[in-house]
């Protein structure tokens, strides 16, 4: 019955929601990858502009001739709020989230459509993420994604992982007005959503054939600086998750297992051992920032004045 329902949809199956903030250049390649889809279902694209300095340039708007493209804009309020804004303008029966610096493989939407047809019991879908092996940072991302997705995949096909670089959800499971993402989460809003799914025992189904490439075009030094900032901003979100009693961080044993797995995978000529050292450096830096955040947060709370009774 689901197949008939999807096939009878007159126009739109997917609403592809992309939040942006000053990253119009990478977005153009993402929009091109949507244009190049083979045998896609009906889809629209919603670009949610989170207070970019400049409005969307002409090369972005021109894609409206290839598929329905809507650009909505808000004052800078964070990626979670931007994605929620995009949802309110979406018309599809399935919401697909991706990022400006991502490229969808040509059969991505077709593969996701097949999964939706074949798995009516599932409402959440994690797409297969890869890295761009044309540079060192991209090869490190490829190595990290291989190890992470293999480690988190469950025998039933679900995955204990959620990344909005490639994540889909049926419209029926979203409260449009309330929003899907907590705007209190400045970063790691997808991890907070994952924690909610853990509590409801509704893990996303992993769609191995629906591939999204994360194309990192920045240098290694720029990447490390971004990691520091992201790790710091994620601190508040992980505190929210901890308050709910959900464990989403890897244990020490899992970390060691992942490092060993990546070391073996790094033997591939397309990746290389140097990519392994980049991943380790990034993770170590993130751990240092995370621990620093916790220490400073604890010290700060000790110095807060107490209210008199």
- Give the tens place of pLDDT for each residue, 289-309: 999 988 887 666 555 454 433
Average pLDDT, the chain: 91
CATH 3.90.550.10 fits 2-218, yes or no: yes
CA dist., res. 186 & res. 256, Å (int)? 29
CA 54 to CA 51: how far, in whole Å? 8
- Token readout for 84 is 């929620």
Structure tokens, 93: 């029966």
Q: What is the pLDDT of residue 204?
A: 98
Beta-carbon neighbour count of residue 307 at 10 Å? 5
pTM: 0.90
Domains of the chain, by residue range, sit at 2-218
Residue ranges of the chain whose pLDDT lies below 70: 1-11, 298-309
**What pLDDT, on a 0 to 100 scale, did the predictor assign at position 245?**
87
Which pLDDT value is given to residue 3? 44
Q: State the Cα–Cα distance between residues 228 and 290, nearest whole angstrom.
A: 9
**Do you know the residue count of the chain?**
309
Contact call for residues 214 and 131 (beta carbons, < 8 A) = yes
Q: Is 136 exposed, middle or buried (0-12, 13-18, 19+ CB in 10 A)?
A: middle
């Amino acid at each position: 019955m689901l197949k008939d329902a999807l096939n009878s949809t007159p126009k739109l199956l997917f609403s592809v929601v992309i939040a942006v903030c000053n990253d119009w250049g990478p977005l153009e390649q993402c929009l091109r990858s949507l244009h190049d889809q083979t045998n896609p279902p009906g889809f629209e694209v919603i670009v949610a502009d989170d207070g970019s300095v400049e409005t969307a340039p002409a090369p972005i708007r021109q894609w409206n001739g290839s598929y329905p493209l809507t650009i909505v804009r808000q004052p800078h309020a964070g990626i979670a709020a931007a994605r929620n804004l995009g949802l309110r303008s979406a018309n599809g029966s399935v919401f697909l989230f991706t990022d400006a610096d991502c490229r969808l493989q040509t059969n991505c939407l077709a593969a996701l459509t097949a999964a939706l047809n074949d798995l009516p019991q599932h409402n959440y879908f994690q797409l297969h993420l890869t890295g761009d092996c044309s540079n060192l940072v991209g090869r490190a991302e490829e190595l990290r994604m291989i190890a992470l997705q293999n480690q988190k995949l469950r025998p039933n096909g679900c995955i204990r992982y959620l990344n909005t670089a490639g994540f889909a959800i049926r419209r029926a499971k979203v409260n449009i007005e309330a929003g899907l993402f907590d705007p209190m989460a400045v970063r790691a809003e997808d991890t907070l959503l994952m924690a909610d799914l853990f509590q409801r025992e509704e893990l996303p189904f992993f769609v191995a054939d629906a591939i999204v490439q994360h194309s990192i075009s920045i240098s290694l030094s720029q990447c490390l600086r971004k990691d520091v900032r992201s790790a710091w901003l994620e601190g508040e979100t992980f505190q929210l998750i901890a308050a709910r009693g959900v464990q989403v961080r890897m244990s020490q044993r899992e970390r060691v297992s992942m490092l060993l797995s990546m070391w073996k995978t790094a033997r591939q000529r397309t990746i290389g051992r140097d990519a392994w050292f980049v991943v380790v450096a990034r993770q170590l830096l993130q751990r240092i920032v995370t621990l620093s955040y916790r220490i400073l947060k604890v010290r700060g709370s000790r110095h807060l004045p107490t209210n008199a009774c």
